[in-house]
Structure 1
Amino acid sequence: MRDLSSFTLAGYDKGRGKLVQALWFAVMNLVFTAWWCPPRLRVALLRAFGATVGERVLIRHRVRVLWPWKLTVGDHTWIGEGAWLLNLEPVTLGRHVCVSQEALLCTGSHDHRAADFRYRNAPITVEDGAWIAARATVLAGATVGRHAVVGAGAVLHQDLPELTLHTADGARRPVKEPS
């Protein structure tokens, strides 16, 4: 029987103290997600809070990042409007990656077999040239291979090999490397 009253944060490290967490939430909600915040300022804010962000990265408005200090973004990567990087654990986006509108990358989960519903988190890696399409979801522990595509509305819960398309119906097909 599940006993949620016994849930604790045991084994989970947020990576920064409460003051930095609170400051990030204030900045994220008041400035970072706003439509009027220039993309260059978003990159600067992420870097100021400990993210590793490459050159010529485009981050659109309404993007949410739980913990910037657990985020690495490669050169020439785009993150679309409303994307949510729920990174309780590290999220690594390679070079020339596209994370489209309202995509969710979620490194957090729970052990449904444990009565205390303890965390069962794992990092996410999206390799160079991959595309996470609109409203796609990538779950904890998954690696999206080089030039792979997680199709619109698809849910990915395991590794996706390079040059593979994963569709919303769970089908997988080869894709050609971009020319």
Structure 2
Amino acid sequence: MNADDAPIFGLRHRLTRMAWGITWMLLASWTQPFHGWRRFLLRVFGAKVGRGVYVAPSARIWYPGTLTLKDFCAIADHADIYSMGEIVIGRHAVISKRAHICTGTHDINDTRFQLTTAPIHIGDYAWIAADAFVGPGVTVGEGAVLGTHAVTVKDLAPWTVYIGNPCREIKKRKSFERHDEPVRGWRESRRPAGG
């Protein structure tokens, strides 16, 4: 076997991923109220995890060692974080249900169909809506929105809303900034005043 035929991920990496998958399945996938526990497990396996991060127990993270989750970002149920390469998710950014963030692809001009990776950076306050897809090498600008079922393989401008496949810009979004505090949950925000 020559160097070109060698697997892109070595045995140690593959064993770590296997241990990660088993750990998440046994110790995290059923732990809905234990947000801190899931953050701890991600850190143990090499993820850089900020304060107040929420990762749903049903989220799929391929490999934590290439993942950076900044303060108060959220990854919702059944989101697929295919972190073959680096993924950075910014402060207060939201990855909604069943969204797919994918850093891996294949070289279609290589006779061996070699795997290639490219990093994904999702800016602060960005929102990747339900079932949306972000492809390898994309930078999602601060505050950008990728709508439900939308697909992007190109960078998204800050504070801009995109829809469709391939996505297209439909309007600008008003910019804002939150103070470093967690987003209130729906139960808390729906309490009557004074309650």
TM category, shorter: 0.7 to 0.9
Q: Distance in 1 between matches of 2:173 and 2:33?
A: 36
Stretches of structure 1 that go unaligned for 5 or more consecutive residues are 1-6
Task: Confirm or deny: 8 A CA contact 2:103 2:120 kept in the other structure.
Answer: yes
- Residue 109 of structure 1 aligns to a residue whose secondary structure is strand
Q: Which residue of 2 aligns with 1:3?
A: none
Aligned residues: CA RMSD: 2.0
Report sequence identity in percent.
Answer: 33
Structure number, greater radius of gyration: 2
Q: Deviation digits for residues 16-53 of structure 1, max 9, x if unmatched?
A: 54442321111122222225462211111001111000
Stretches of structure 2 that go unaligned for 5 or more consecutive residues are 178-195
Q: Which residue of 1 aligns with 2:35?
A: 39
Paired letter, 1:171: R
Paired letter, 1:66: W
Q: Distance in 1 between matches of 2:158 and 2:32?
A: 36
Say if 2:77 is the partner of 1:63.
no
Cα offset, 1:113, TM superposition:
2.1
Of residues 155, 162, 186 in structure 2, which corresponds to 1:166?
162
Say if 2:113 is the partner of 1:117.
yes
Further displaced range: 30-39 or 143-152: 30-39
Query: Quick one: higher RCO (CA 8 Å, sep 6+), 1 or 2?
Result: 1
Q: Deviation digits for residues 98-139 of structure 1, max 9, x if unmatched?
A: 011111100000111222111121010001110011111101
TM-score by length of 2: 0.81
Q: Which residue of 2 aligns with 1:4?
A: none
Q: List aligned pairs for 1:11-50, cutoff 5 A.
A: 12-13=8-9, 16-36=12-32, 38-50=34-46
TM-score by length of 1: 0.88
CA 1:147–1:14: 2 relative to 1, 3 Å: farther
Task: Confirm or deny: 8 A CA contact 1:31 1:37 kept in the other structure.
Answer: no
